[in-house]
């Protein structure tokens, strides 16, 4: 699919109660803050938090869904800025900011259901 300047991206993900456990199995990261809600609460986290890279994987999926080609994603960067909890809803939005030399730059915003940015400075580069 052709990537053109101004093209918009929008996606929504609901974090189910098993997502952290599934991602822990896939990544090998069994830190108790991700899989033990009571442990995480004792640390003041409000419950088990989703792995930051799982949140970023939601972003990668939204980008590749937009391009129609998982192989088109060349670079993805962000700043992890707030925890994502089980039950949270993640909203991903953005647009193609620039297309140059067969590469597109997509600037994205990633917020939870309360409008809190859980990832900041999110930029994807894709083959155009």
Question: In the predicted model, what is the mean pLDDT of residues 75-79?
Answer: 98
* Eight-state DSSP code of residue 18: T
Is the pLDDT at 11 greater than 70, yes or no? yes
Domains, the chain, with CATH or none? 8-15+52-127 (3.10.129.10)
Question: In the predicted model, what is the mean pLDDT of residues 57-83?
Answer: 96
Options 29, 35, 36, 107, the catalytic residue: 29
Active site residue 6: no
Is the pLDDT at 2 greater than 90, yes or no? no
Active site residue 88: no
pTM above threshold 0.85: yes
Q: Compute the distance between CA of residue 112 and CA of residue 14 in angstroms, rounded to an integer.
A: 10
CB atoms inside a 10 Å sphere around CB 59: 24
Q: Compute the distance between CA of residue 40 and CA of residue 98 in angstroms, rounded to an integer.
A: 41
pLDDT confidence bin for 10, thresholds 50/70/90: very high
Active site residue 52: yes
User: 3-class secondary structure for 84-95?
Assistant: CECCCEEEEEEE
Note the pLDDT of residue 83: 96
pLDDT confidence bin for 3, thresholds 50/70/90: confident
Query: Are 84 and 55 within 8 A, CB to CB?
Result: yes
Options 3, 9, 34, 88, the catalytic residue: 34
The strand pair at 103-111 and 117-127 is best described as antiparallel
To which H or E segment does residue 66 belong?
Answer: helix 52-67
Note the pLDDT of residue 50: 97
Active site residue 29: yes
Is the pLDDT at 1 greater than 70, yes or no? no
Options 49, 90, 92, 106, the catalytic residue: 49
Residue (of 83, 81, 80, 84) closest to 17 by Cα position = 84
């Amino acid at each position: 699919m052709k990537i053109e300047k101004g093209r918009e991206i929008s996606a929504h993900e609901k974090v189910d109660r098993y997502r952290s456990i599934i991602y822990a199995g896939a990544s090998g990261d069994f830190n108790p803050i991700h899989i033990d809600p009571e442990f995480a609460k004792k640390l003041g986290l409000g419950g088990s938090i989703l792995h930051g890279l799982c949140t970023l994987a939601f972003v990668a999926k939204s980008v590749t869904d937009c391009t129609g080609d998982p192989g088109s994603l060349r670079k993805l960067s962000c700043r992890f800025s707030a925890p994502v909890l089980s039950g949270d809803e993640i909203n991903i939005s953005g647009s193609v900011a620039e297309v140059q030399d067969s590469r597109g730059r997509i600037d994205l915003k990633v917020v939870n259901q309360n409008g809190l940015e859980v990832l900041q400075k999110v930029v994807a580069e894709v083959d155009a």
